[in-house]
Structure 1
Amino acid sequence: MLPTVLVTGANGFLGRHLVTELLGRGYPVRALLRPGQPAANGPLPPLRELPIECVTGDICQPATVATAADGCGYILHAAALAQVNPARNPAVWATNYGGTETVLALARRADVARLVYVGTANVCGFGTKAAPGDETRPYNGRHYGLDYMDSKYAAAGLVQRAATAGLPAVLVHPTFMLGPGDAKPTSNALLLALYQGTLPGYPAGGKNYVHVRDVATAAVNALAQGRVGESYILGNENLSFREAFTLMGQVLGVAPPRWPLPPALAQLYGRLCDWKTRLTGRPAALNAAMAAVANDGHYFSARKARTELGLPQTPVGQAITEAFDWFKTHGYV
């Protein structure tokens, strides 16, 4: 019988796909849920209706999860607070850095055969389309002033140091995930905004996109494949925002934004939003850090993960189609 896998963040967008992938391969699954967190997530079936074990605890409060990994052979640590607005938020550090410290302690206590840490490609240095960033490039996101990026970079450092000290850990770093089942929604909210015509234009930058199911496949592969202590970018297609919005518009049957947003104008709008936030005490729709990110091209290569983790490369257009079909089926549009 295969070892039990503890999955943190099991009720999230990627977490649900991880659970599905694990069950499809015959792994027993133990899902860690926060106290008070419903096992149901929007229209998705409750986790407790799946053939898995659910335990309760908060990785920000180590005492509540002290035995969560006992008896598990593997840990898939996907829990994170992917919040970028406001740009600075102590809760982001508590979850992404402090929570990772907790999970590393669980892995040592349970003496797991492997820990797979799910980070973000932004902890690697991004590049251009002609020379995309990879796992060898140093982190260059600190100048944005985003606690999300900084905390994930710091957490990845924790995992790498633990691996150097003997913990069998592998790090996987997804790019921008699209696909079905985004109940909250999170990254796929971009599709809804485009469909509803609320995007005023397209920024100057771009990013790498990947199907969430491909990420889940490679992350589960990493339980047995890949090298301890190594990082793997899980991505696929590099697209400028203009290219991405055009593709999304074709799939959704709507016209994409027509007008480019000059970087200076985007940055000015971000600063005005910051001013509004300080004045009202409530986060605006955007902030200066988010505008700065959108002005840059966050392009990456996933060659290493394709070679060593068997990362699939589902066309991004298919990911968009499946995501939008799921939204339509479940009444989001």
Structure 2
Amino acid sequence: MKAFVTGSTGLLGNNLVRLLVEQGYSVKALVRSPEKASQIFSGLDITLVQGDMLDIDSFAEELAGCDILFHTAAYFREYYQPGNHWQMLEDINVKATIKLLTFAEKHGVEKVIYVSSSGPIGMKAPGVPGDESTPPDPQIIKNLYFKSKVLAEDAIYEFLKQHSLPVVLILPGWMFGPGDAAPTNSGQLVLDYYQQKIPGILDGGACMVDARDVAQAMINAVERGKNGDRYIIAGRYYTLENLFHTLTKITGIPAPKLRLPYNLTVILARISDSYARFTSTKSVMPLEGIRMLHERIQLDSAKAIKELGASFRSLEDTLHDVVDWYQKTKAIG
């Protein structure tokens, strides 16, 4: 079976590509930089397709002959960072997604596995985890990245009313995993911990999931995913304290002892965001991320477990592999 993967060099994408090859797929991987991708995928028998989601016409013909499209690419700049990047978010996450689906159908792709986000989903009620039927939380989708994902899903459902191409929607939790070269905010958190840059523990948490477990659920969705259905692949809920204590066990580096009051953290985050805007750099303590963690949102992945056979490895196993990967790549000593 032939697969086309967008966002192939990202945390989820590169783990997906590796699993696809291991499981006998022929893979075309969309990349912006063939040189970078050649290093990431050294030794893998895949076809690199140079292209950008802002110029789908330039690579659309490469979809011909592919059975499955795995669409993991997205613009993340607004994920937690300060600033308004709505035009890029809309152009890539919403408009380009529908254009890609249109070309996929035109070129005979049989099914699409689309990666959305579980981020916009809140709790059903206090103490009751959210699931696929839970509507977007009005407060959460003030975050423009999450707003773009909600609008992309809406656009996909409009697309499905007029087209026959099956689309399965995957909603991951906060992903950790090896191969996080960028790094994402999760990889940066591990690096900051290792370098002892984290000043204290915020009383918050999130559903954390191994990117490889998300990737495997996506592959399972090729045969088992239902057209138009959404599947939360969120893993298990952990507090930041759980996360840091697990990293202590793996690295031997002691966890921060200071507990940061939420109000103080918000003040520090506002300062960090302001500095990032002024210097055109990344905020080291983005306010949006602090707020999300403080919400302690729990999600239910039962549907994906039942219908896709999703399974989740332990946080310790995941973080062990993340640290090991960074050590091997010399990102940490």
In structure 2, the residue matched to 1:151 is 148
Matched residue SS, 1:85: coil
Residue 99 (str. 1) matches residue 93 (str. 2): no
- Cα distance in 2 between the residues matched to 1:308 and 1:40: 36
Q: Which residue of 2 aligns with 1:276?
A: 275
Give runs of aligned pairs for residues 128-207 of structure 1, distance below 5 A.
130-140=127-137, 142-143=139-140, 145-165=142-162, 166-186=164-184, 187-207=186-206
Paired with 1:140 and 1:13, the residues of 2 have a C-alpha distance of: 26
Unaligned runs of 5+ in 1: none
* 1:53/1:43 CA distance change after superposition, 3 Å: closer
Q: Is 2:82 the partner of 1:86?
A: yes
The aligned counterpart of 2:222 is 223
CA distance in 1, matches of 2:40, 2:274: 38
Q: Distance in 1 between matches of 2:140 and 2:324?
A: 38
Residues of 2 paired with 1:289 and 1:42: CA distance? 34
Match of 2:122 in 1: 125
Supply the distance in 1 between the matched residues of 2:211 and 2:325 (Cα, whole angstroms): 13
Q: Distance in 1 between matches of 2:274 and 2:44?
A: 46
Q: Which has the higher helix share?
A: 2
Distance 1:144 1:185, change over 3 A: same
Partners of 1:42 and 1:183 within 8 A in 2? no
Please list every run of 5 or more consecutive structure 2 residues that lacks an aligned counterpart in the other structure.
Answer: none
- Report deviation, 1:279: 4.3
| 1:67-123 alpha-carbon deviations (Å, 9 max, x no partner) | 131121110001112233234213333322233122212222123221000111113
Q: Distance in 2 between matches of 1:193 and 1:10?
A: 25
| Count of equivalent residues | 327
User: How many Å apart are 1:175 and its aligned residue?
Assistant: 0.7
Provide the C-alpha distance between the structure 1 equivalents of 2:50 and 2:138, rounded to a whole number of angstroms: 34
Instruction: Tell me which residue corresponds to 2:17.
Output: 19
| Offset from partner CA, 1:179-214 (integer Å, 9 cap, x none) | 222122222221111111111122222101111111
**Stretches of 4+ aligned residues off by more than 6 angstroms:** none
Within a 5 Å distance, the mapping from 1:258-269 to structure 2 comes to 258-269=257-268
| TM-score (structure 2 length as normaliser) | 0.90
TM-score by length of 1: 0.90
* Sequence identity percentage: 29
- What is the rounded CA distance, in whole Å, between the counterparts of 2:10 and 2:280 in structure 1? 28
Q: CA RMSD in A?
A: 2.2
Query: CA offset at residue 283 of structure 1?
Result: 4.5
SS state of the match for residue 67, structure 1?
helix
Structure 1 residue 42, shift from structure 2 partner: 9.4
Q: CA deviation at 1:170?
A: 0.2
Among 20, 24, 30, the alignment partner of 1:32 is 30
